[in-house]
């Protein structure tokens, strides 16, 4: 188990999962004030916005590392 947690890929995967869960809650708290939409639609919208933000963030990190 300790060897598994030392693996960089596993750390990145766990950080992505954690940031999706936490980010979705943060984004949902912003859009929960919108009127006229269902709870499930708001959750889906929050998930999509969070994933887009993560893709952009990790894209910048990868591009920064490639340019080194």
Nearest Cα neighbor of 62 from 7, 12, 11 is 12
What is the tens place of the pLDDT at every residue in 36-51?
Answer: 667 788 788 888 888 8
Show the tokens assigned to 2. 């300790």
The domain ranges of the chain are: 2-66
Has this prediction a pTM greater than 0.85? no
What is the tens place of the pLDDT at every residue in 13-39?
Answer: 778 888 888 878 888 777 777 776 677
pLDDT for 67: 73
């Amino acid at each position: 188990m300790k060897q598994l947690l030392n693996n960089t890929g596993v750390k990145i995967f766990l950080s992505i999962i954690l940031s999706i869960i936490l980010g979705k809650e943060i984004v949902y708290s912003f859009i929960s004030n919108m009127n006229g939409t269902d709870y499930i639609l708001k959750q889906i919208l929050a998930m999509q916005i969070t994933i887009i933000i993560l893709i952009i963030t990790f894209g910048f990190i990868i591009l920064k590392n490639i340019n080194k």
